[in-house]
């Protein structure tokens, strides 16, 4: 810091002003002739002392404020930037670091044949022409060796008569892509030379990849150089644009889960990575994340246009869904191109849910499930239980389906198995008179509903079917009610498979596939016939074979033929949701259900099920430039999705443009840091000035009450 | 004489007329019929005649007048006990103080009261003398019943502006020496002197049979300073400068001021004794002058 500047001297002189003010303007301005001052003598001494103390305090505040303002305005640290003014006074040491990493082998533009390294050397030649003949020159090549390739007179380098001409060649080496070691070497060399050299100029010529530009180490080193006495640091970019190494030129061509299914504990994931850019990718990292945890990383190099395959062996580590994400990390590992896939593993025993209108414990099915050692989720009209994506859902009262139909359907599409228990309703008179078969036709358009036995039970099932149609109508497929002999309705679609039959061969449990899941209908055994549906199920509990029946149904529902989950598949979900919409999950499951879906268009949305209501973190993935966040209000169980739009992941852009001198920006950065201090000082000074004003006005230390009395003209009595 | 005209302003005279009516009802008769009623006695100074009535002393029948008018007329003489009033008006610099809301200074107020009292006393047949004082007595003239006394008093008050430092103790000592007969001493001053200095002079005067009436001229702002900010108070007499912070010094000042007044009053009552030969009355410059003047006259009528 140099304080011998005119501005500093001026401010030092100005700092006398407060003392003068304090000396000559200490006493109050207003004088008043008084007749009885002798009565004041008792308190005057105290007042005089206090007044003097206040005046000294005001004086100190004034002086401090003035001093700080002076410091802030003078910015003495800026004096070091004037080191270049000393250039004319003596020999200069020119220290050049040339980045010769692999990235500098990239073409400046796709059309040109000039590499970044060549551009860097041209820039260096331009700088050398500005050097004086007696200047010293040191050239470092920042590659894997970080060689000091030249040390000598600058005039020889200018005339290209130096013996070590390797740095002038166009040879490109596979380097560590970090110029930090070379810069460190340059700093050491510059420190040594500064003892004899009057001024030092450090020039760093690099393409300044994102990693380098955002490297805190490099920033520290540059600041260190700039803070050295009589030393300047210049950063010169050789880069034309940042497109050459953009991760957008890298694509994960296809991913295949080989033989994967969620009944197996292990599967293989095959990934193809392709470099479609013009730059060679050196030691790039491909990482595999499962449920947000990095499971494995691979390092590979890709030539332009080359495609390589990466094969991983996946092992299921936990229940519920698994998020499989393959990420390609850019050169600075900030730029990411990732592809996300969903893997649904095998359900566990406690992944059973019951949807019913009753208390769980009163439901015979629930009791039976508990008897079987299963732990059904308490999902009585509770959408939250469904959000946990149970693998097996028993729907006891089909009327409930109309409320959570979308949710059930979406779960079924994604692999859940629905078991709908159809009651034995007998409300013939009422429904028979009010129901029209045309309604049935609207429920099942284009399908014939063959009527064999028209009675109340049949009609009741038709009504139930219309309620169930809330979710089944969303698919292009149509279903028909699984018909039993009891109801006398045939399965006209042929999609239904009888999985359980009575002893006489009559099926009472039918199943068909919906998406990746299944839908199972279980009818009331014909031997039971009551006038009340709910009571009918209560009677079922007394049926001695009911628990084995439930077990059979569970096994039949789960033990389906193995199916591979179609990873990467895009599911066009009609009931698409607005990801900017905040949905109260407690209102309607229908609106919340789509959040259980996985893939939509180009970006994937996945919820980590255990964390939805516990600790939801960023589980959404990004593709391209899209990002997604998930926020959860744990108190209200609301959750909100936020789409960030085309926000780049890359934090900072490296400088572009060949030959662009960046020392000014570096300098400004440094000064901006210093200016931060000065701004701070300035703020402190302003605060002090305010305090001074307050003190000079209010340093009577009056209480608010006294002040009020004084302002109102009243005085203490 | 412009200011002297103010001393006899119509308003003041009108208010004094009211006082005369009030004094006429005093049972003592000392001021009956107005303060101007003469007291008759056995002195050699002829006062006037009155018709003879039974019971009158036949020695005082004016036979010469009887011979001319064939009526019995009795000669009356002035009473030897007619009082002598000596006015001491403080003309120190502190008397020039005038509060921000006062219409006149303490000095103007004191002069007005002194002239008004003197006028009333002269009309009542009392002898009036006076002087102004600072450190010493100035322009002293002895008590006289002639109108010349009034002229002398007014000339004395208008001769010089207020200045200097008042030394009431010294002045009282000097007054005690100058007074040759029993006199009612009327001191008009702000009386900010140290009380302890006044004890001995007061004792001497009382012991000599004089009566003292202290008329303490006070500006209300002196009692309660109204300065709202820190100011530099400059003493009018000593020119000493004192920083006055109203918020911290005001109460202390008022306490000291009030304590001084109480202390002075205590001493005055102590020296006045049961005869109450020494009294102190306060006059506030901001208050109407007539009631305050009446209080003084009432006190004078009661014999101080």
Q: Residue A401: what pLDDT?
A: 52
Length, in residues, of chain A: 717
Each residue of A228-243: pLDDT tens digit? Answer: 777 777 777 665 443 3
Token duo for residue A137: 């020159």
Mean pLDDT of A179-199: 77
Q: What is the DSSP secondary-structure string of B164-223?
A: S---HHHHHHHHHHH--S--EEEEEE---S-HHHHHHHHHHHHHTT-EEEEEEEE-HHHH
Whether the predicted pLDDT of B19 surpasses 60: no
In terms of pLDDT, which residue wins out, A490 or A333? Answer: A333
Rounded Cα distance, B132 and B92, in Å? 9
Whether the predicted pLDDT of B153 surpasses 60: yes
Contact (CB<8Å) B243/A38: no
Number of CB pairs, chain A paired with chain B, less than 8 A apart: 109
Q: Residue B189: what pLDDT?
A: 94
Whether the predicted pLDDT of B92 surpasses 90: yes
Name the residue facing B231 among A28, A42, A716 (closest C-beta): A28
Mean pLDDT of A107-133: 71
Name the residue facing B234 among A33, A44, A716 (closest C-beta): A33
Whether the predicted pLDDT of B199 surpasses 60: yes
Q: Residue B226: what pLDDT?
A: 81
Lowest mean pLDDT among A6-10, A133-137, A430-434, A522-526: A430-434
Name the residue facing A37 among B230, B240, B252 (closest C-beta): B240
Token duo for residue A213: 């530009």
Each residue of A578-636: pLDDT tens digit? Answer: 333 333 333 222 222 223 222 222 222 333 223 232 222 333 333 332 323 334 433 43
In terms of pLDDT, which residue wins out, B117 or A687? Answer: B117
- Closest chain A residue to B100, measured at CA: A32
Q: Residue A424: what pLDDT?
A: 43
Whether the predicted pLDDT of B60 surpasses 80: yes
**Mutate which of B93, B228, B242, B263 to test chain A, going by most A C-beta atoms within 10 A?**
B242
Contact (CB<8Å) A36/B190: yes
Whether the predicted pLDDT of B129 surpasses 90: yes
Q: Residue A573: what pLDDT?
A: 29
Rounded Cα distance, B242 and A36, in Å? 11
pLDDT confidence tier of residue B59, bands split at 50, 70 and 90: confident
Each residue of A314-353: pLDDT tens digit? Answer: 775 544 345 567 787 766 566 666 665 654 444 455 567 7
Q: Residue B275: what pLDDT?
A: 73
Contact (CB<8Å) A35/B235: yes
Tokens 């060399």 belong to: A189
Mean pLDDT of A692-699: 62
Per CB distance under 8 Å, which residues of A are interface residues toward B?
Answer: 27-28, 30-44, 46-48, 50-51, 700, 702, 706, 710, 713, 715-716
Q: Residue B281: what pLDDT?
A: 92
In terms of pLDDT, which residue wins out, A713 or B156? Answer: B156
Mean pLDDT of A442-457: 34
Contact (CB<8Å) A35/B192: yes
Q: Residue B215: what pLDDT?
A: 94
Whether the predicted pLDDT of B248 surpasses 90: no
A33 interaction partners in chain B (CB closer than 8 Å): 97, 233-234, 236
Residue A248 dihedral angles phi and psi, to the nearest 5°: -65, -20
B244 interaction partners in chain A (CB closer than 8 Å): 32, 34, 40, 44, 47
Please, what is the average pLDDT of chain A?
A: 57
Rounded Cα distance, A679 and A688, in Å? 14
- What is the pTM for the complete model shown? 0.37
Rounded Cα distance, A608 and A638, in Å? 16
In terms of pLDDT, which residue wins out, A294 or A589? Answer: A294
Q: Residue A697: what pLDDT?
A: 59
- Closest chain B residue to A697, measured at CA: B229
A53 interaction partners in chain B (CB closer than 8 Å): none
Mean pLDDT of A565-585: 32
Measure B108 CA to nearest chain A CA, in Å: 15
Q: Residue A426: what pLDDT?
A: 30
pLDDT confidence tier of residue A91, bands split at 50, 70 and 90: confident
In terms of pLDDT, which residue wins out, B151 or A198? Answer: B151
Measure A684 CA to nearest chain B CA, in Å: 29
Q: Is A378 helix (H, G, I), strand (E, B) or coil?
A: coil
Contact (CB<8Å) A716/B245: no
Q: Residue A285: what pLDDT?
A: 82
Mean pLDDT of A242-249: 49
Contact A293, A284 (CB under 8 A): no
- Closest chain B residue to A702, measured at CA: B247
pLDDT confidence tier of residue A559, bands split at 50, 70 and 90: low
Q: Is B127 helix (H, G, I), strand (E, B) or coil?
A: strand
Give the residue among A76, A65, A272, A89 at the shortest CA–CA distance from A686: A65
In terms of pLDDT, which residue wins out, A679 or B173? Answer: B173
Q: Residue B132: what pLDDT?
A: 93
Q: Residue B140: what pLDDT?
A: 92
Whether the predicted pLDDT of A695 surpasses 80: no
Lowest mean pLDDT among A645-659, A661-675, B103-117: A645-659
Lowest mean pLDDT among A35-39, A158-162, A602-606: A602-606
A695 interaction partners in chain B (CB closer than 8 Å): none
Rounded Cα distance, A166 and A317, in Å? 54
Q: Residue A506: what pLDDT?
A: 54
Q: Residue A425: what pLDDT?
A: 41
Token duo for residue B11: 């308003």
- Closest chain A residue to B224, measured at CA: A715
Per CB distance under 8 Å, which residues of B are interface residues toward A?
Answer: 94-95, 97, 106, 190, 192, 219, 222, 224-238, 240-253, 256-257, 260
Lowest mean pLDDT among A314-323, A453-462, A582-591, B45-54: A582-591
Measure A59 CA to nearest chain B CA, in Å: 18
The DSSP bridge partners found for residue B189 are B216
Rounded Cα distance, A615 and A424, in Å? 43
A34 interaction partners in chain B (CB closer than 8 Å): 97, 233-236, 242, 244
Contact (CB<8Å) B245/A706: no
pLDDT confidence tier of residue A476, bands split at 50, 70 and 90: very low
In terms of pLDDT, which residue wins out, A446 or B143? Answer: B143
**Mutate which of A31, A38, A702 to test chain B, going by most B C-beta atoms within 10 A?**
A38
B253 interaction partners in chain A (CB closer than 8 Å): 39-40, 43
Lowest mean pLDDT among A83-97, A489-503, B15-29, B35-49: B15-29
Give the residue among B289, B276, B255, B278 at the shortest CA–CA distance from B111: B289
Rounded Cα distance, A55 and A696, in Å? 8
Rounded Cα distance, B218 and B132, in Å? 18
pLDDT confidence tier of residue A175, bands split at 50, 70 and 90: very low
pLDDT confidence tier of residue A535, bands split at 50, 70 and 90: low
């Amino acid at each position: 810091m140099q304080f011998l500047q005119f501005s500093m001297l001026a401010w030092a002189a100005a700092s006398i002003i407060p003392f003068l003010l304090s000396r000559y303007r200490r006493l109050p301005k207003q004088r008043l002739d008084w007749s009885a001052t002798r009565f004041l003598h008792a308190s005057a001494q105290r007042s005089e002392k206090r007044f003097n103390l206040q005046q000294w305090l005001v004086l100190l505040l004034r002086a401090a404020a003035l001093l700080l303002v002076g410091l802030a305005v003078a910015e003495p640290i800026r004096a070091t930037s004037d080191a270049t003014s000393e250039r004319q006074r003596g020999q200069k040491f020119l220290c050049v670091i040339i980045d010769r990493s692999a990235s500098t082998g990239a073409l400046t533009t796709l059309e040109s044949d000039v590499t970044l390294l060549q551009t860097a050397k041209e820039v260096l030649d331009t700088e050398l022409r500005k050097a004086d003949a007696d200047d010293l020159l040191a050239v470092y090549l920042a590659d894997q060796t970080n060689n000091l390739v030249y040390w000598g007179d600058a005039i020889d380098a200018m005339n290209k008569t130096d013996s070590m001409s390797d740095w002038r060649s166009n040879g490109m080496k596979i380097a560590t892509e970090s110029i930090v070691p070379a810069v460190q070497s340059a700093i050491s060399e510059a420190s040594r030379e500064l003892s004899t050299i009057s001024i030092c100029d450090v020039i760093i010529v690099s393409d300044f990849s994102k990693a380098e530009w955002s490297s805190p180490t490099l920033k520290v080193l540059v600041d260190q150089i700039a803070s050295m006495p009589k030393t300047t640091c210049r950063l010169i970019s050789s880069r034309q644009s940042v497109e050459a190494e953009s991760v957008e030129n890298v694509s994960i061509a296809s991913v295949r889960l080989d033989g994967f299914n969620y009944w197996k504990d292990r599967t293989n994931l095959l990934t193809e990575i392709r470099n479609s850019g013009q730059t060679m990718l050196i030691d790039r990292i491909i990482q595999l994340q499962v449920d947000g945890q990095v499971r494995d990383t691979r390092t590979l190099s890709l030539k332009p246009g080359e495609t390589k395959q990466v094969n991983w062996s996946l092992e299921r580590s936990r229940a519920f869904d698994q998020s499989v994400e393959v990420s390609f990390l850019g050169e600075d590992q900030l730029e990411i191109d990732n592809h996300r896939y969903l893997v649904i593993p095998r359900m566990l025993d406690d992944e059973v849910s019951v949807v019913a209108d009753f208390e769980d414990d009163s439901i015979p099915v629930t009791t039976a499930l508990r008897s079987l050692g299963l732990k059904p989720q308490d999902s009585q009209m509770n959408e939250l239980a469904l959000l946990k994506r149970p693998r097996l859902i028993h729907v006891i009262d089909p009327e409930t389906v109309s409320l959570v139909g979308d949710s059930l359907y979406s779960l079924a599409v994604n692999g859940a198995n629905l078991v709908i228990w159809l009651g034995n309703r007998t409300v013939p008179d009422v429904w028979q008179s009010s129901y029209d078969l045309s309604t049935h036709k609207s429920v099942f358009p284009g399908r014939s509903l063959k009527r064999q036995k028209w009675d109340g039970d049949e009609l009741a099932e038709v009504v139930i079917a219309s309620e169930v149609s809330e979710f089944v109508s969303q698919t292009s497929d149509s279903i028909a009610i699984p018909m039993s002999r009891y109801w006398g309705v045939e399965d006209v679609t042929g999609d239904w498979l009888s999985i359980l039959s009575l002893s006489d061969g009559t099926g009472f449990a039918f199943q068909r596939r919906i998406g990746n899941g299944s839908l199972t209908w279980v009818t009331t055994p014909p031997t039971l016939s009551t006038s009340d549906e709910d009571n009918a199920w209560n009677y079922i509990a007394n049926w001695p074979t009911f628990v084995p029946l439930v077990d059979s149904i569970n096994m039949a529902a789960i033990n389906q033929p193995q199916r591979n989950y179609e990873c990467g598949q895009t599911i066009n979900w009609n009931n698409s949701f607005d990801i900017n919409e905040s949905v109260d999950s407690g209102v309607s499951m229908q609106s919340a259900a789509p959040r259980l879906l996985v893939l939509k268009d180009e970006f994937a949305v996945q919820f980590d099920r255990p964390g939805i209501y516990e600790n939801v973190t960023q589980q959404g993935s990004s593709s391209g430039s899209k990002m997604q966040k998930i926020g959860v209000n744990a108190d209200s169980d609301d959750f909100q999705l936020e789409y960030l739009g085309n926000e780049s992941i890359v934090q900072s852009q490296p400088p572009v443009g060949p030959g662009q001198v960046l020392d000014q920006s570096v300098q400004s950065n440094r000064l901006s840091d210093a200016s931060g201090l000065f701004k701070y000082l300035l703020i402190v000074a302003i605060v002090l000035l305010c305090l001074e004003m307050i003190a000079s006005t209010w340093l009577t230390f009056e209480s608010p009450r006294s002040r009020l009395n004084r302002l109102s003209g009243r005085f203490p009595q | 004489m412009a200011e002297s005209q103010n001393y006899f302003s119509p308003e003041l005279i009108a208010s004094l007329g009211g006082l005369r009516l009030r004094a006429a009802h005093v049972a003592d008769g000392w001021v009956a019929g107005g303060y101007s009623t003469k007291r008759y006695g056995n002195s050699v100074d002829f006062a006037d005649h009155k018709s003879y009535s039974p019971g009158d002393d036949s020695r005082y029948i004016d036979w010469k007048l009887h011979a001319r008018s064939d009526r019995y007329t009795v000669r009356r003489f002035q009473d030897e006990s007619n009082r002598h009033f000596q006015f001491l008006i403080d003309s120190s610099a502190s008397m020039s103080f005038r509060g921000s809301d006062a219409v006149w200074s303490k000095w103007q107020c004191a002069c007005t009261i002194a002239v008004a009292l003197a006028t009333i006393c002269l009309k009542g047949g009392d002898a009036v003398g006076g002087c102004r004082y600072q450190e010493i007595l100035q322009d002293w003239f002895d008590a006289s019943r002639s109108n010349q006394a009034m002229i002398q008093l007014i000339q004395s008050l208008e001769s010089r502006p207020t200045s200097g430092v008042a030394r009431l103790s010294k002045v009282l000592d000097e007054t005690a020496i100058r007074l040759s007969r029993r006199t009612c001493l009327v001191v008009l001053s702000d009386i900010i002197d140290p009380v302890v200095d006044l004890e001995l002079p007061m004792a001497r005067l009382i012991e000599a049979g004089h009566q003292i009436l202290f008329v303490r001229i006070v500006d209300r702002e002196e009692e309660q300073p109204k300065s709202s900010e820190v100011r530099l108070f400059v003493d009018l007499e000593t020119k000493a400068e004192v920083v006055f912070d109203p918020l911290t010094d005001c109460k202390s000042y008022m306490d000291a001021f009030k304590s001084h007044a109480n202390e002075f009053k205590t001493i005055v009552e102590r020296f006045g004794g049961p005869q109450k030969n020494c009294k102190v009355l306060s006059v506030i410059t901001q208050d109407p002058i007539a009631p305050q003047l009446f209080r003084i006259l009432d006190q004078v009528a009661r014999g101080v």
